[in-house]
Amino acid sequence: MYNFLLFAGRARLHSLYATYDARNSAAVKSVTKASQWRKLGMQGRRRESRAALYLLIVSFAGNLEGQTFVRSTELATVSRLQSPSTYADRPIRT
């Protein structure tokens, strides 16, 4: 008799779990889909920002002439500020 009650109790619990799963499966699926779409959207935004960063790096690296021009101008200006006597000795052309 005890074995029958134990079996009946297990079957009842199993049927309760089955109805619980069936009742919530649509809700679980919709929540799962929403979270998956959110994750996919984040991946796309990350990809876009990486692409923008890559383009910025490439455009900066591709402008080597401009960078050397700026560096040489800065160096010339710094050297003039450090040694003004060399330029003060030269006569002013009119």
Alpha-carbon distance values, 76 to 39, 64, 83 (Å): 52, 18, 11
Q: Is the pLDDT higher at 47 or at 67?
A: 47
CA distance 72 to 81: 14
**How do residues 40-54 score in pLDDT, each as one tens digit?**
666 666 666 666 666
CA distance 83 to 79: 6
CA atoms within 13 A on the CB side of 28: 6
pTM: 0.21
Q: How far is CA 5 from the centre of its chain?
A: 58
